[in-house]
Amino acid sequence: MKHGVVAVLVAPVLLVSGGCVRHESAEQSGESTPSTASVASSAQSLDGRLVTADGRARTYHLHVPGGLSEQAVPLVIALHGGTGSGDQFRRNSGLDELADEHGFVVVYPDGVGVGRTDALRTWNGGYCCGQAARDDVDDVSFVRELIDAIAAHYPIDPQRVFAVGHSNGGIMAYRLACELSDRIAAVALQAGSLGVDDCAPEHPVSLLHLHGTADTNHPIDGGRGSTSISGVDFHSARTSVRDFAAADGCPATPTFTADPSNPDLTISTWTPCGGGSEVRFVEVAGAEHAWMGHTSGAPRLTGEWYADLDASVMVVEFVLAHPRQG
């Protein structure tokens, strides 16, 4: 994968009060405030802060590829795993390079952390995980406000807003598909599960779920993983996909295919689903919990990384191929 040079700039500060977004000027904040026009020539990486309607100060990292014009582009929301961070997922996934290659904006929001350093960040995906779930943090509203804030300053195509996630971030991606279907066209994840009891998307959402059969953090059939630190009895990945497919108006029975280039893959596909959407489940024999195709930073918790499939490439290819129809 090609690694480009990224200009790191001081972020704009996006403030939300009572659901209204305002963009603080450079004179008010003492910080550089790029406009849509200024990002057209070269890639930019920005660290930002969003004060949400519930009074929480939330942070994120935004990557905007160079060469943007007035033509609307996709937005990919990349959700880190439990105890990770947006910047950690950015560095581990290589999604910035894919954004430059394919011409989409990617944002890496941070979950809710604990302590003075905001460590151990998690998402409230429903039944999991950590402080975010215990405090019933409204992460769905945070993502909605974040989409609005980014779209106010960059040419985002509302038909191509997507979410991708790993582990707890994958659980959060499922929740967005269920509860933010008016904004999210497709989600793609690795090693997650459906964490809400009543999943009833108002609009069809395409979904890709990638899961390793040797995952001991979030076991593919559910339960408490032997290397998990969440203390959660995870829902079954296989059941999660089937339940979401039913909620998405898919056929009751999927088609099963193999990948001739990789015998480890077993692919289940539900199509056609509501509104032309699609649900796909990819089982990877022998793969562990680490984000596939990328070196694990914590092999004791995530296991060794699976080298024969790049999760970042797979999730990006899937979501970009599944814009909202109509």
* 326 in a structural domain: no
Which positions ≥6 away from 52 have C-beta within 8 Å?
16, 58, 138, 141, 142, 145
Task: Say if residue 134 is exposed, middle or buried (CB neighbours under 10 Å; 0-12, 13-18, 19+).
Answer: exposed
Q: How many domains does the chain have?
A: 1
* 1 in a structural domain: no
Give the whole-angstrom CA distance, residue 309 versus residue 311: 6
* 2 in a structural domain: no
Q: Which residues pair with 187 in a beta bridge?
A: 163, 207
Q: Which pTM value belongs to this model?
A: 0.89
Q: What is the pLDDT along the chain (326 residues), one digit of tens a residue?
A: 333 322 222 333 343 333 333 333 223 333 333 444 444 468 999 999 999 999 999 999 999 999 888 899 999 999 999 999 999 999 999 999 999 999 999 999 999 999 888 899 999 999 999 999 999 999 999 999 999 999 999 999 999 999 999 999 999 999 999 999 999 999 999 999 999 999 999 999 999 999 999 999 999 999 999 999 999 999 999 999 999 999 999 999 999 999 999 999 999 999 999 999 999 999 999 999 999 999 887 787 789 999 999 999 999 999 999 999 87
* 325 in a structural domain: no
Give the whole-angstrom CA distance, residue 87 versus residue 97: 14
* 190 in a structural domain: yes
Task: Please give the DSSP secondary-structure letter assigned to residue 96.
Answer: H
* 16 in a structural domain: yes
Neighbours of 322 (CB within 10 A): 23
Task: Please give the DSSP secondary-structure letter assigned to residue 302.
Answer: H
Task: Please give the DSSP secondary-structure letter assigned to residue 166.
Answer: E
Cβ density class 138-174: b for 16+ within 10 Å, e for less: bbbbbbbbbbbbbbebbbbbeebbbbbbbbbbbbbbb
Return the CATH number at 301.
3.40.50.1820
* 233 in a structural domain: yes
Q: In this predicted structure, what is the pLDDT of residue 25? A: 28
Helix (H) or strand (E) holding 140: helix 139-151
Q: In this predicted structure, what is the pLDDT of residue 283? A: 98
Give the range of the structural domain holding residue 126, as residue numbers without chain letter: 7-320
* 97 in a structural domain: yes
Nearest alpha carbon to residue 105 among 75, 144, 149, 77: 75
